Amino acid sequence: MNDNSVAVLGSTGSIGIQTLDVIRSLGMRITLLSAKSSVEALEKQIREFLPAAAVMTDPATAEELKIRVADTGTKVYSGEDALCSCVRECDSQTVVNAVVGFAGLKPTVAAIEAGKRLALANKESLVAGGEYVIPLAKKRGVEIFPIDSEHSAIFQCMLASSDHDAEVDKIILTGSGGPFRGMKEFELRTVTPEQAVRHPNWNMGQKISVDSATLMNKGLEVIEAVRLFGVPTEKIEVVIHKESIIHSMVRFRDGAVIAQMSYPDMRLPISYALTYPSREFADYKPVDFATLGSLSFEEPDTATFKCLDYAYTALEMGGNATAVLNGANEVAVERFLKHEIGFCDIPRCVETALLGAAPTDNDLDGIIDADMQGRRIASVVKRTW
């Protein structure tokens, strides 16, 4: 097994591209690349990194990619099952999962089953399947290194304590508040997908940008933190911090609050997940506190941005309610991006799904069933605005 090599899933996306930047600067090799259907981008990446294998989950585009890269040594595979097989069989100890959405769950499970080191951007794996994924990772002795900036920050703050169960009082999860911070529901009714994807501090994929605008992203991150750090929900507090300098904090039982700060740049958490315990990322802009002047904090407006509360509700409901929430949200976001429903219909889809879904078994099939129920319900909720 080659320790200086990485498999990158979702390599054509926002996190995927930044991961390749980090890999370039670290001088690592790539054994596996994957995308859904961005054939030109994946071809370019294959020609640069010459991985042994590449997977297009969309079969039609996989055929096109095969023809395009026939002159390289890279074998092209097609479909979701092939992605999981390639994850299991690739000659890398580390897998970066930067797939967006529930589609990242099976590759996460495949990486853990194969005993790989998992650098995880795909939060939906933990939101929908955490109750299955975390015990599996523990059983297999697999470490999960979060790429989500808040969870990377919490992970770094946690290093200040050797007994988390006894010493952690609060995880303070920060969020920018998104592009619509300060707006009220009557103003949100008419916002467009184009406005929603324009985030003030981060340049991200479309789905997470909409999630940031609804505050569902913060909700998903609360669930992600519960699963990753094994803390009760009451120990997690969300604070809106519009400057995105403090990426999260942990307060310990002696009152000490440890924070991780930097200008927003996903390459820092990506790099740390790849090189932990060593810190290798060097291309940063030092935080200039004098120029910054002040940092601000406020409570999230959950009366307006209801998705954050629904995440807490799903955690309280237990079972696979978080998979229902996640599936419903994915469909609602897709429908919003297609102008099929309004921005304020997104929380309505999620709420309707949480109320309407039936309990499912607590195994992988049960999680898939819960996700499907969430999707089915959210796909028929009618537009109100």
Q: Give the residues lining the site for ligand NAD (CB under 6 A).
A: 10-16, 35-36, 38, 57, 98-100, 103, 121-124, 148, 202, 204-205, 207-208, 266
By beta-carbon proximity to Mg ion, the closer residue of 121 and 367 is 121
By beta-carbon proximity to Mg ion, the closer residue of 111 and 225 is 225
User: What minimum distance in Å lies between the beta carbon of 244 and ligand NAD?
Assistant: 11
User: What minimum distance in Å lies between the beta carbon of 252 and ligand NAD?
Assistant: 26
Write the CA distances from 84 to 7, 42, 106, 187, integer angstroms: 12, 18, 7, 44
Which does residue 51 touch among ligand NAD, Mg ion, none (CB within 5 to 8 A, set by kind)? Answer: none
Q: In this structure, are residues 174 and 241 in contact, taking their beta carbons and an 8 Å threshold? A: yes
Q: How far apart are CA 349 and CA 110, in angstroms?
A: 30
Q: How far apart are CA 201 and CA 212, in angstroms?
A: 11
By beta-carbon proximity to Mg ion, the closer residue of 231 and 341 is 231
User: What minimum distance in Å lies between the beta carbon of 233 and Mg ion?
Assistant: 18
User: What minimum distance in Å lies between the beta carbon of 294 and ligand NAD?
Assistant: 25
Q: In this structure, are residues 287 and 263 in contact, taking their beta carbons and an 8 Å threshold? A: yes
By beta-carbon proximity to ligand NAD, the closer residue of 10 and 347 is 10
The DSSP letter of residue 73 is S
Backbone dihedral angles phi then psi of residue 142, each to the nearest 5 degrees: -95, 135
User: What minimum distance in Å lies between the beta carbon of 236 and ligand NAD?
Assistant: 17
Buried b (16+ CB within 10 A) or exposed e, 190-222: ebebeebbebebbebbbbbbbbbbbbbbbbbbb
Buried b (16+ CB within 10 A) or exposed e, 337-373: beeebbbbbbbbbbbbbbeebeebeeeeebbbbbbbb
By beta-carbon proximity to Mg ion, the closer residue of 133 and 238 is 238
Q: In this structure, are residues 71 and 80 in contact, taking their beta carbons and an 8 Å threshold? A: no
Q: How far apart are CA 146 and CA 122, in angstroms?
A: 9
Q: Give the number of other CB atoms < 10 A from CB of residue 278.
A: 8
Which does residue 177 touch among Mg ion, ligand NAD, none (CB within 5 to 8 A, set by kind)? Answer: none
Amino acid at position 273, single letter = A
Which does residue 333 touch among ligand NAD, Mg ion, none (CB within 5 to 8 A, set by kind)? Answer: none
Which does residue 205 touch among Mg ion, ligand NAD, none (CB within 5 to 8 A, set by kind)? Answer: ligand NAD
Residue whose structure tokens are 């007994």: 163
Q: How far apart are CA 95 and CA 5, in angstroms?
A: 9
Using CB atoms, what's the residue nearest to Mg ion? 148
By beta-carbon proximity to ligand NAD, the closer residue of 31 and 57 is 57
Residue whose structure tokens are 């395009």: 68
Which does residue 99 touch among Mg ion, ligand NAD, none (CB within 5 to 8 A, set by kind)? Answer: ligand NAD
By beta-carbon proximity to ligand NAD, the closer residue of 42 and 252 is 42
By beta-carbon proximity to ligand NAD, the closer residue of 26 and 337 is 337
Q: For residue 59, is the peptide bond before it cis, meaning its omega torsion is within 30 degrees of 0?
A: no
Using CB atoms, what's the residue nearest to ligand NAD? 13
User: What minimum distance in Å lies between the beta carbon of 210 and ligand NAD?
Assistant: 11
By beta-carbon proximity to ligand NAD, the closer residue of 15 and 370 is 15
* Residues engaged in binding Mg ion (CB under 5 A): 148-150
User: What minimum distance in Å lies between the beta carbon of 149 and Mg ion?
Assistant: 5
Which does residue 121 touch among Mg ion, ligand NAD, none (CB within 5 to 8 A, set by kind)? Answer: ligand NAD
Q: How far apart are CA 66 and CA 37, in angstroms?
A: 13
User: What minimum distance in Å lies between the beta carbon of 61 and ligand NAD?
Assistant: 10
By beta-carbon proximity to ligand NAD, the closer residue of 86 and 204 is 204
Which does residue 370 touch among ligand NAD, Mg ion, none (CB within 5 to 8 A, set by kind)? Answer: none
User: What minimum distance in Å lies between the beta carbon of 152 and ligand NAD?
Assistant: 9
User: What minimum distance in Å lies between the beta carbon of 10 and ligand NAD?
Assistant: 3
Q: In this structure, are residues 53 and 31 in contact, taking their beta carbons and an 8 Å threshold? A: yes
Which does residue 150 touch among Mg ion, ligand NAD, none (CB within 5 to 8 A, set by kind)? Answer: Mg ion
Which does residue 306 touch among ligand NAD, Mg ion, none (CB within 5 to 8 A, set by kind)? Answer: none
DSSP letter string, 86-112: HHHHSSEEEEEE---SGGGHHHHHHHH
